[in-house]
Chain A
Amino acid sequence: MLLAITALLTLGAAQAPTPAASATVDVVQILRDSDRLRGGLKDGITWSIDVESTEDGVTTKASYLVRSRGDDALAETLAPPRSKGEKMLFNDRTLWFLKPGLKKPVSISARQKLSGQAANGDIASTNYARDYDATLAGEDPVDGVPCWRLELKAKAGNVTYDRIRYWVAKDQRRALKAEFLTVSGELFKTATFAYGNVVTLAGAPVDFIKAMTIKDAMGSGASSVLRFGSPKSEAHAPSVFNVNNVVR
């Protein structure tokens, strides 16, 4: 009950920021709110993610069933058939790759290429509030929607991106656009976020992320689209994300 009330209060704040709140913007809270709408639910979520990448004129597709809970996530490959059963386990900031028959999991990097322009971290690392130090850099409209422009700097070296320019809509605190930069500040990828899924949180429907389009900013024309389907708020037991259990 307490949890439900807290969620309602948080959601309420997200949907209707007051002028006073705008004057003294809590950027960490903005990140937390935007993370929630991109899948960062504390109790857990289950959804499917289809990744379609186009690179050098070749299009590849892959599908994952993703279960996440707080800082952990488990992504199981559903397609293509040769990769079926492979799993990626995100334990906090550690990422494990597992496949049927493999004796031990392999620790891999969230930055490593998953498919096309999508990095491994893109399918599960939604916790920007935990991984990045944020500062408010200004206010810009994105497609006519008033947004805060945040500058995010990685707190650790093992997160997906070193630096992010991040646009979050003021009205519902939805992230609308991101620019991913190298540690030296060079832009190498851009992303846009589309919403349209509905998830019921604490009894109330919430507009949830539906697609993330990542494009190469270096001129290759390569792009990846992550389509998020059938999101369902679901409490997962911690054992689901225990690497020893996943290996078995």
Chain B
Amino acid sequence: MNHAWQLALKNLRRNRRRNVATAVSIALGFGGLVLIGGYAVRVERFLRTNTVYLQQTGHLSIYKEGGLERGTAQPATYALSAEEQQVIATVLSARPEVEFFGRHLVGMGLAGNGCTTLPFAALGVEPGVQARALTHPEVLLASPELSRPVKGELIARYPAVEGAVALSAGLAELLGKTRVHDEVPAAAAQAEVVLPDCTTKEGRGALAHDANVQLAGLTWSGSMSAVDTEVVNVFHTPLAETDDGTVVASLQTLQSLYDTDAISYLSVYLRDARDTSRMRGIIEDAIRAAGVPVRAYTFDDERVGPYYAGTMPFLSSLVGFIGLLVAAVVVLSIVNAMTLSILERTRELGMLRALGFNRRQVLGLCLREAALLTALAVGVGLLIALCVAAMVNNGNVRFSPPGVPGTIQFMLTPTPALCAALAAFIVPLSVAAAWLAVRRTTRAGIVSLLSSHSS
């Protein structure tokens, strides 16, 4: 058997120009597939990370039955009470697949600066859980730009600051809050708050002298409420349309605003994202069995992660179509090269048959040649792709994805699994193409092969 492979390798050294051309074609095709795949992996990871960790839906979001659909209109009815939270926490803590989980409260209201108010949508987080999510290795790899505040530090770093909140960049600008807590001199922060004269330019400019913002809203029982907060960081939201009106506050602050100890949902972060679909049912059943009527949603559910769910099918179809075109080019190259090679070597094949090689052995020889050529080309193509990816990644090319505020780095991240999968696809494809090209010739009789005038 080894002899057959050696013979195939020796044969490859003949007709070097054509074989090199074929190998280059396969290498570029494979490299192209690796780069396209690397882009798809990058985008998928970016979207998944944004949804799971930055928007803090978790791989799974656990709502009270009906809470996702009706929780905004009737928060008190569809929230998870303190007792229910305890039951769910017990269930989640017992699952080794769960890395960590967090409690969240969502709400709306008005953010004021003493002159004007603007509407906001707020997410209440447990500061420690938020810090863990935003510094998760997945986030640092896929979305470091959006995980870092534009200014200031994460809420968890300010345990002594009462009502520490983070404002989205657009909202902070609209409120005139150009400085965060760390940028306000201590003396100014402790000074008695003076209401600005909102009718003058100087008065409006004075809004930036402190980082104090008031959040107002209706409590769940329907009465007006407001809390003082201190802006400790400004951040970009994962979606541009929410950048002018998002507040992230500690769970405690929002619960105080809405006068409740309940939460809207729990986010569950799994150790392995591939477990998401499987764990959805397991965790939901376990919590329901513990007596809390909940529904668990995966991050790719369009009701929880509409941006992810809406973008991925489009991206998949686009990458799939381009990949199909590249694969077609590779197949045609192989078929073309092998057809020409066989035509040139028809009498040689007849000689091999005359020396005692049967049809199968001759066919095997041709297929081995194709497999070796493709393997070689795949290695070269992989090298080319990795070099190109490294150059692109080191070039720090930045772009603004649609719907995302600010810029992110254009990156190509071909993973070992992707490269292996593509190689496992392209090598058999090449061999199949070679088989298509040579099968007819190898079926011919010895005399017919020897009398051929092709070579």
Verify if B223 is at the interface (C-beta below 8 Å from A). Answer: yes
User: Chain B residues near A243 (CB, 8 Å)?
Assistant: 195
Please determine whether A107 and B224 come into contact, CB atoms closer than 8 angstroms: no
Supposing A60-B221, A116-B222, A247-B195 touch, asked if A103 and B228 sit within 8 A by C-beta, the answer is yes
Interface hit among B108-116, B233-241, B366-374: B108-116
Number of A-B contacts (CB under 8 A): 65
Q: Is the interface of A mostly helix, strand, loop or mixed?
A: mixed
User: Chain B residues near A104 (CB, 8 Å)?
Assistant: 112-114, 193, 195, 212, 214, 228
Please determine whether A102 and B226 come into contact, CB atoms closer than 8 angstroms: yes
User: Chain A residues near B259 (CB, 8 Å)?
Assistant: 82
Supposing A104-B214, A243-B195, A247-B195 touch, asked if A83 and B224 sit within 8 A by C-beta, the answer is yes
User: Chain B residues near A105 (CB, 8 Å)?
Assistant: 112, 114, 195, 214
A45–B224 Cα distance when bound, in Å, is 24
Verify if A86 is at the interface (C-beta below 8 Å from B). Answer: yes
A55–B223 Cα distance when bound, in Å, is 13
Please determine whether A113 and B216 come into contact, CB atoms closer than 8 angstroms: no
Please determine whether A103 and B193 come into contact, CB atoms closer than 8 angstroms: yes
User: Chain B residues near A101 (CB, 8 Å)?
Assistant: 228
Verify if A161 is at the interface (C-beta below 8 Å from B). Answer: no
Verify if B12 is at the interface (C-beta below 8 Å from A). Answer: no
Q: Which A54-110 residues have C-beta < 8 A from chain B? A: 55, 60, 62, 80, 82-83, 86, 88, 97, 99, 101-108
Please determine whether A60 and B228 come into contact, CB atoms closer than 8 angstroms: no
Residue of chain A at shortest CB distance from B216: A106
A129–B60 Cα distance when bound, in Å, is 55
Please determine whether A115 and B223 come into contact, CB atoms closer than 8 angstroms: yes
User: Chain B residues near A116 (CB, 8 Å)?
Assistant: 222
Q: Which of A62, A103, A108 contacts B223 (CB under 8 A)? A: A62
Interface centre among A80, A106, A108, A112 (most CB of B within 10 A): A106
Please determine whether A60 and B110 come into contact, CB atoms closer than 8 angstroms: no
Q: What are the nearest 4 A-B pairs in CB distance?
A: A104-B114, A106-B112, A106-B216, A103-B193
Task: Give 15 CB contacts A-B under 8 Å.
Answer: A53-B222, A60-B221, A82-B223, A82-B259, A99-B226, A102-B227, A103-B228, A104-B193, A106-B214, A107-B115, A108-B216, A108-B224, A115-B222, A120-B224, A247-B195
A interface list, Cβ under 8 A from B: 53, 55, 60, 62, 80, 82-83, 86, 88, 97, 99, 101-108, 112-116, 120, 243-244, 247
